[in-house]
Amino acid sequence: MAKFRKSLLHKFLNWKSRNLSHRQFLMIISALIGFIAGICAVTIKNLTHFIQVFLKGDNIINYHNAFYFIFPVIGLLIVYLIFKFILRKKVGQGIPATLYAISRQKGIMKRFQMYSSLITAPITVGFGGSVGLEAPTVATGASIGSNLSRLFLLNQTTRTLLIGCAAAGAMSSIFNAPIAAIIFAIEVFSLDLTLASLLPLLIASVSAVLTSYFFFGTEIILPFKLEDAFKVSEVPYYILLGIVTAGFSIYFSSIHFRLTRLMSRIRSNILRLITCGLLLGLIIFFIPPLYGEGYSVVNNLLQENYLEALGTNLFNAYLDSIWVVIVLLLGLVIFKIVATSLTLSAGGVGGIFAPVMFMGSALGHGFALFLNNLGIFKDPISVSNFTLVGMAGFMAGVLHAPLTAIFLIAELTHGYELFIPLMITAAISYMITSKFQPHSVYTMELAQRGDLLTHDKDQTVLTLMNISNVIEKNFIPLRIDMNLGDVIHEGVVKSSRNIFPVVDENHNFMGIILLDDIRSIMFNEKLYDEVKVQDIMQQAPEIIYLETDRMKAIMKKFQESDAWNLPVVKEGKYVGFISKSKMLTAYRKKLIEVTV
């Protein structure tokens, strides 16, 4: 059977090479990937909905509030058991894992990633995990795109583009927003905006949204019709909202990484799951709107039904006071990120896109209510408009994707009446946040490790280069206990290089000897026993550490040291040398690959 499949694939590849150009085939496969991404989005959404309906069914409804506490733990435990006994693989989190695959694995994603999130994300969210389904949908589609490109023997550049097509298709299908989906793929995955890349993204996005229409019709996740027009007099308030969303965006990233690091100190996976799960259940028990994605809360806020959005809580008797409502909305913003971080730390599968929209809507809604009830303004501002713009400001700040935020909200409202306030708030939020946090939540850890691709072509090429490919190992190591005679007979005579690494008995790197350093004494046999290696060795101008140094740092070391060869060390032990000439040659080759 395997031979038959290989033969069939071989015949198809031969037919493709004879009848289709690369460009034509790219258009066809981008449409296919868009359709598949749409199917993935529909599947994940329906599975999640099925689980939530079951948990809220007649058999459990009478105990539902009490089960808010235990449902998340049950869901996280099921996900843990699936990973441990069925998949037996470690799954990275959605978009960061996809970005890492692009930068460090040539866009190659494991086959199990095509279905792992498809199974585990609905369980995580369906049982109350406070995360979104967008990132798992993107990761699933991206993995399918990656594996299809490998099946059809496409190069790395095309594979990266198809991953972007899958991301665009997933977002387009979820939100029925094809333009915003394309911009999302370009902003988040740092794709080049050229005609060659734009057409496949467009085809994938349209294909996915048509798939969504086929299953859901015109029903969308955030149905809203814009009723209140933009007023120029509200511009100062939108500027202030941009500043407020920037502040909370910084809070979001700070709390997320601090809490994640704190929980990672619990070494036992099952103990961490129980700890995070119980804390999550406790938060959701007291604040039920934090259960799951939270789009029902967002929709209620857009309809200005803040009492429905807040649900049943301990402060029901005080909801007649608008100031209590505003404080509770602020509480949703503050505790949503805690719930999201606990879900991910416990091993749940999901993303932060939905929590960001949730927090942005609550912040924008509370901001508008606060201004309207101060009693100092003659005309009240539109609460629904500020709810929408608050989402855009939060997305721009946390995700560092201001264009995605602007166009997504514009498409959700079926018009561009809010375009000016969206641009004002998103731009201010992004500018302030990027000043204090130069990278988004998706890219922070990748950037710290030097694994992040950006729109900077030079930076991208350096990130994609593999250090191992440029290490030269035809240098003869000299032991530190050798004398000059040993250096001549064991090193100079046998080597064609003019530099020698010096190591100790455990192969730890100690320094270097240059041929120029011994040229004046190398023919004086009287010194062969007298002069020791430690007398003629010197420190290397710079050392490349294989565990931590990335290509950008290596290039900087060459520039600052003005050296042509630098030693490579791993865990203190000598590995080889990297030469500037070989590195520049590899850079040129990679640049050609990236720009083709």
Query: Residues 539-578, buried b or exposed e (16+ Cβ, 10 A)?
Result: ebebbbeeeebbbeebbebbeeeebebbbbbeeeebbbbb
pLDDT of residue 394: 93
Long-range Cβ pairs for the range 406-410 (8 Å, 24+): 407/177, 407/179, 407/180, 407/183, 408/175, 408/177, 408/180, 408/184, 410/180
- Which DSSP letter does residue 418 get? T
> What distance lies between CA 507 and its chain's CA centroid?
39
Q: How many CB atoms lie within 10 A of CB 390?
A: 32
Q: How many CB atoms lie within 10 A of CB 347?
A: 23
Instruction: Write out the chain's pLDDT in tens, 596 residues.
Output: 556 666 777 777 777 777 778 788 888 899 999 999 889 888 998 898 888 888 776 555 454 556 667 888 888 999 999 888 888 777 666 677 777 777 667 777 888 888 888 889 999 998 888 898 888 888 888 888 888 888 887 877 788 888 888 888 988 988 888 898 998 888 877 666 666 678 889 999 999 988 888 876 656 677 777 777 788 888 999 999 999 999 999 998 888 888 988 988 888 889 999 899 889 988 988 888 888 888 888 888 888 887 887 876 666 766 778 888 889 999 999 999 999 999 988 888 888 888 999 999 999 999 999 998 887 777 788 888 999 999 999 999 998 889 999 999 888 877 678 889 999 999 999 999 999 887 777 776 655 555 555 444 455 555 566 677 788 888 889 888 888 888 888 888 888 888 899 998 888 998 888 888 788 888 887 788 888 888 888 888 888 888 888 777 788 888 888 888 889 998 889 988 988 878 777 777 766 565 54
* pLDDT value of residue 370: 92
439 C-beta neighbours (distance < 10 Å), count: 16
**Positions of E strands within 418-487:** 471-472, 478-479
Alpha-carbon radius of gyration of the chain? 29
What integer pLDDT is reported at residue 455 of this predicted model? 47
What is the reported pLDDT for 292? 83
Specify the residue for token string 């350093």. 517
pLDDT reported for residue 447: 53
Q: In the chain, what are the domains? A: 18-216 (1.10.3080.10), 232-446 (1.10.3080.10), 460-595 (3.10.580.10)
Question: What pTM did the predictor assign?
Answer: 0.77
pLDDT of 421 reads: 93
Residue given tokens 């290490």 in the structure block: 471
Collapsing DSSP to helix, strand or coil, 549 comes out as coil
Note the pLDDT of residue 321: 84
Residues in the chain: 596
One-letter amino acid for residue 395 of the chain: M
In terms of phi and psi (left: phi > 0; alpha: psi -120 to 50; beta: otherwise), the region of 153 is left
CA angle 107, 111, 114 (to 5 degrees): 90
